[in-house]
Amino acid sequence: MCKFMSLMAVIRTGGKQYLVKEGDVLRVEKLDKKAGNKISFKDVLLCFDPQKKTGVEIGKPALKIKVEGEVLAEEKGRKVSVIKYKPKVRYHRNVGHRQWQTKVKILSIMEEKKSTEPAAEKKIKK
């Protein structure tokens, strides 16, 4: 499976998809984590090695791969300006909005470890 250092993956978070590799810094929709905390994205849709032409893994719907990252900061994004105007009635409004975003640095892309704990036995009452 995906075991190489130069892996790229497509993850889904906040209703959007992002193409990431190790060392990337990206801004995603606001997450409930503080700066310095670790975060793992388990919803990995695609994984591949860009140096090889083969070996693309596509999830149905997701792969058993985990992308780990570190939260760098929580910031507001760029301002989106909403302008309303109606001619001949002297009506105009200019409203701005800045969405909260979380800045994340991708640390690693690796397979999820399977738990080695034995399954809990159910007690049957007679």
User: In the predicted model, is pLDDT for residue 3 greater than 60?
Assistant: no
User: In the predicted model, is pLDDT for residue 69 greater than 90?
Assistant: yes
pLDDT of the residue at 4: 47
Residues 6+ apart with CB under 8 A from 88: none
pLDDT of the residue at 26: 95
What is the mean predicted confidence (pLDDT) over 8-37? 94
This prediction has a pTM of: 0.76
User: In the predicted model, is pLDDT for residue 124 greater than 50?
Assistant: yes
